[in-house]
A and B are shown apart, each in its own frame.
Chain A
Amino acid sequence: MSRIQESVIIRTIVRIMVPFIELFALYVIMHGASGPGGGFQGGVIFGAAIILYTMIYGIAEGKKKMSDSLDRILASTGLTIYAATGLICIVCGGMFLQYRAVPLLPDPAEVSKYLIDLVEIGIGITVLAVMISLFFDVSPPESEPEEAEE
C-alpha cells in the first residue's frame, strides 16, 4: 500500500471520476455510428476506468466490481453478440454480416445502422473485459495488507 493510495484527495477524486469515465465510455461506444468513436475505443476507456479504480483501491476492491468469472463471461459474450448478429443475417436470407437482409424495419439502411451499433456494443464488451482481465493477470499477488480499506 503506497502513499499515493492512502491520499484522501486521490481516493475521493477517483471515486467521483470513475462513473463519469464509464459514462463517457458508453457515449463513445454508442456514438461510433455518427462520429469519432467505436467499440474498441469505448471498451478501452471503460476498462481504463475500472483499472484506475483498482490501482487506487486495491486488487480486492477491484475484483468486487469485476470478478474473474464475470470477466470471462463478458469476454465471450461480446464475441458471441458479434457472431450472432452475423448469423441472424444468414437466417434472414442474406450473407454473413449483410445487415440489410434483416427485415426489422422498412428501411434497410436503418436496420443496418442499429445492427452496426449492436456489433459495436459487442466489440466494446469484449475489449473491456479483456483489458481488465489482462490488468488483473499481470498485477502483483495479493500480499499487501488490506487494513487501509474503508
Chain B
Amino acid sequence: MKTLALFVVVITGAMLIYAGHDLPAFGDINSPSYQAPMTQYFINNSLEESGVTNIVTALLASYRGYDTLGETAVIFTAGMAVMLLLRRRER
C-alpha cells in the first residue's frame, strides 16, 4: 500500500514538473495573463478607483469584495460548525 502511494505521488509530481516547463516565465510581458484586457485595465486604473497601491488588495477587497465577504462567511461558518460538533460539555 505504501509502495502504491509513493508510486502515485512520484507520478503526479513528475507530471506537474513536466507541465511546469510550459508556464510563462516570471514577469514575461508576452504571457497571456498579462496581455489580457482586464489585466491592463486593473494596472492602469486600480490606484485611482480604489486608492490602494497594492493591486492584489484592490482586487481582493474592492473589485471582488463581495466574493471576499463570502470567503469570510465560509471561514466563520466552518469555525461555528466545528464548535458545534466538537465542543465538549464539561462545565
Contact = CB atoms under 8 A, between A and B. Distances in A.
B11 interface: no
Interface string B54-91: 10111011100110110011011011101100111010
A145 interface: no
A79 interface: yes
Contacts of B56: 38
A32 B65 contact: no
**Most chain A Cβ neighbours within 10 Å, of B54, B58, B86:** B54
Interface residues of A, number: 41
B49 A109 contact: yes
B24 interface: no
Given A82-B72, A126-B72, A99 B79 contact: no
Nearest to A107: B51
A128 to B, nearest CB: 11
B52 A34 contact: yes
B48 A123 contact: no
Contact of A34 (B53, B60, B68, B72): B53
Nearest to A119: B61
Interface in A105-133: 107-113, 116, 119-120, 122-123, 126-127, 129-130, 133
**Most chain A Cβ neighbours within 10 Å, of B48, B58, B60:** B60
A35 B50 contact: no
Contact of A83 (B52, B57, B62, B69): B69
